[in-house]
Amino acid sequence: MSHSTVLITGANRGLGLGLARIYLEDGWNVIAVNRSSSPELEALRNGSLEIHCCDLTDDTQLTLLADTLDSRAIDVLINNAGRMAKSGADESAHSVQGFGHFDRALWHDIFDINLFTPMSLSELLVENLARSERGRIVTISSMLGSMALNTHGGIYAYRASKAAVNAIVKSMAIDLAGRGIIAIAQHPGWVQTDMGGKGADIDVETSVAGMKSVIDGLGPGDSGKFFSYDGSEMAW
């Protein structure tokens, strides 16, 4: 009996590492794709985990990765790798991304990993996903990408990148429906990671357990929606 397969980007730390761990514990084959590995990810190595290191913003390297996976079915693609956009040693995303601090190069870097990489990988792996009877594209978004929930302003680049993620997910859900592929955006909660900070609401284990439960339960009618880790539907 073949095991289900999930591909997770940015699985070397934080949410991605937590997702890799919980899928492995559930008996899935996990393909971890990262810029580099980590001791924590290496410690999970077994017959069900394979690690690919490449520049996630280099389409030539992503194409080579897709070529190595050419004949394999992928049940779930989780576009997790992302960047909040802190600059150097500055710990305040608000000061870096506030009004009056536009930095074209920084914005490009944020959109490159948060938006362009999920778009590229989804296209490159669509045939792998179509080989599965339950192909799913899950792209990590954020409540900060919600227009309706924006009551504080600021964090321009990150907010804009995640609003754009929501837009591409909605279109993918429509364009890939005929191939049986479900596409959703998912808010992982405010999580205690390097990106979320120690003061965040929930730990990684709570977030990834909820996210996996949502992903496991997806049906065709859920495609194109924006879900929180707890299963609630988020406002656009």
Give 14-41 pLDDT, tens digit per residue.
999 999 999 999 999 999 999 999 999 9
Give 117-147 pLDDT, tens digit per residue.
999 999 999 999 999 999 999 999 999 999 9
d(CA 26, CA 52): 21
Nearest-CA neighbor of 123 among 79, 185, 68, 178?
Answer: 79
Average pLDDT rounded to a whole number, residues 162-168: 98
Selected catalytic residue, list 122, 158, 161, 207: 158
Selected catalytic residue, list 132, 162, 225, 229: 162
Selected catalytic residue, list 141, 142, 161, 228: 141
Residue 58, CA distances (Å) to 37, 79, 81, 120, 210 in order: 17, 15, 14, 10, 31
pLDDT at 86: 59
Q: Residue holding tokens 């707890």? A: 230
Whether 158 is a known active-site residue: answer yes
Buried b (16+ CB within 10 A) or exposed e, 45-71: eeeebebbebebbebebbeebbeebee
d(CA 176, CA 155): 32
Whether 141 is a known active-site residue: answer yes
Residue 154 CA, chain-centre distance (Å), reads 22
Residues 5-228: name the CATH superfamily. Answer: NAD(P)-binding Rossmann-like Domain (3.40.50.720)
Whether 2 is a known active-site residue: answer no
Band the pLDDT of 193: cuts 50, 70, 90: low
Average pLDDT rounded to a whole number, residues 48-68: 98
pTM: 0.93
pLDDT at 200: 65
